[in-house]
Structure 1
């Protein structure tokens, strides 16, 4: 899944632009060896001034690593539909997909390891200093479980929970677009 399928085609990036915000929606690194490589790839797209970062699903791990590496360049961080780490069923499914794509055991471990979020320890997550908002998947699903949102909120007690909705590629997402856009633009405009 690329940025166009996740953000553009469902209308998210266009809606944010229509609200008057500039949008950069780079594709994540193709077949990254680890989350650090993902954050280095994304860092090349950061403008000089601090920005609001909106990340979705596994992109929350990449964005969190980015915020940890470049805290002065990230004004605020929105973790939307954060992917659940440490679920045996989900991890075995993901492990099989990564292995079928040719990922080494070392890379698979690097991409699946983590606590609340893949690729990030809870101690690291708790050190984020910029404002963080979390948007849950509603309804939750095996890949985006409620417990992930609750854990992030517990580790970042100053974080804010936004209105939840299905992820953009899901067929039930379109009826939630306007409310999601309102949440994102309010988040970015602070």
Structure 2
């Protein structure tokens, strides 16, 4: 009687462990799919792939410009902000080009190097842009990214999805997939050993 209870409990434990392993594998595959349709296209679409050094030539704050804000309501689609323009000397080619914060900055407003998020306090936006401009004037040389193919003559300060970020995004689903496969293998080995010992 006790032996039957132990066998039943063992089978229930194996079933639960097998379901856990299969669930982990299924969740990791869903995460792979989500990363593949969201982050990977942005990473592959970016042409600013080569890192080099940039030297600031001038950093000017011009009059306020308007920026479209697709995230906000229709009556708040644009908001004014000071336009920061940073021109740098590209070490790789020696050209004078305009610097943008990320790939998204160029798409949102090609006239400005930095596009702030919409803030209700315009003084805070102005203070932030002035701090950024002073930092560029203080730190004259810094790493930046340019397009080695030459399709984009400008440069960006940082990539939205760098290679390290992409690897980190794939780390968790990979660990989950590996753990799920390991659980399934261990359950199958346990079942095989149980059948083999019962046969003997």
Q: TM-score, normalised by structure 2?
A: 0.20
Over alpha carbons, which structure has the higher Rg? 2
With a CA cutoff of 8 Å and minimum separation of 6, indicate the structure with the bigger relative contact order. 2
